[in-house]
Amino acid sequence: MKKILLGTFLISSLLSFCQSEKKEKKFKITRANFNLNFGTAYNLPTYLKIQQSGYEAIELWARYATRGFEAPVYWDYKLEIETKNNVVGLRSTHHKLHLTNPTPEISTFSITHGYNLVTAYYGWKMKHFDLLFGGGIAFSHPEGVVRNEYIALEEGIPLYGGKYRLTAPNFEVEIKRKWYLNKLIFLNVGSRFIGGYAKPKIINGYIETYPIGFHLTTGLGIDFYSKKKCIPCDEK
């Protein structure tokens, strides 16, 4: 419920911004759609710190694998509103981070069932693609075995797959394109660059890392609204 309320707040704020920028103009909605995508990511090497009470911090240049097609799979769904020239949307992405270069103290470490992103975005329709910029927050679920101790802290926001901690902001840039298969259904392909910061608690400590990577997704969408509408509308 908290995730839904937060998402509603983000997209409402973004819509309010768009309307304020167009005070003297009509904000004409031409389409509204929902699309579900699957994909994977290439994660750039980044900083990781694992701090446990009573021990020196473990710090390393972490390499993460996404394993997007292994359960639980990488997914990304979007609710999107279009005007003639712009796109406004809200998305949720289930991303995963598996550490592939552990130190001797780390038996396993991952942020999964997910490093789950909730993002609001705004974009422009170009000639051959859409260009989107967005920002939001993340819900993370770190787990693993460090120094022979299980580190997952089962306190936080209860969501599917376990307890999640609300972590720091993330931002993204995406280039996407869609092809209509008929009047309502379309194929969607997108390439994103995502950067973020996470510092969730673990048992007797915390972890700190900066997930950065390139994401590739594809999937299907459907227009559930495709009539022109103006907000406000003063035409007779």
- What class, spelled out in words, does domain 2-18+30-231 have in CATH? mainly beta
Token couple for 3? 């995730």
Per-residue confidence (pLDDT) for residue 21, from 0 to 100: 47
What radius of gyration do the chain's Cα atoms show?
20
From residue 149, give the alpha-carbon distance in Å to each of 19, 60, 143, 153, 204.
Answer: 52, 19, 11, 12, 10
Residue among 34, 36, 63 at smallest CA distance from 48: 63
Residues 73-129: pLDDT tens digits? Answer: 999 999 999 999 999 999 999 999 999 999 999 999 999 877 899 999 999 999 999
Judge contact between 112 and 72, C-beta under 8 A.
Answer: yes
Domain residue ranges of the chain, discontinuous segments joined by +: 2-18+30-231
Per-residue confidence (pLDDT) for residue 235, from 0 to 100: 41
CA–CA separation, 2 and 108 (whole Å): 30
Q: If residue 164 lies in a helix (H) or strand (E), which one and from where to where?
A: strand 162-180
Residue among 153, 191, 158, 159 at smallest CA distance from 172: 191
Quickly state the pLDDT bin for 3 (edges 50, 70, 90): very low
From residue 152, give the alpha-carbon distance in Å to each of 184, 207, 215, 234.
Answer: 44, 11, 26, 56
Please state, as a whole number, how many other Cβ atoms lie within 10 Å of the Cβ of residue 217.
24
The torsion region of residue 72 among left (phi > 0), alpha (psi -120 to 50) and beta comes to beta
Per-residue confidence (pLDDT) for residue 230, from 0 to 100: 46
Residues 20-55: pLDDT tens digits? Answer: 444 445 678 899 999 999 999 999 999 999 999 999
pLDDT at residue 233 greater than cutoff 50: no
Cis peptide before 158 (omega within 30 of 0): no
Least confident of 56-65, 108-117, 128-137: 108-117
Judge contact between 29 and 231, C-beta under 8 A.
Answer: yes
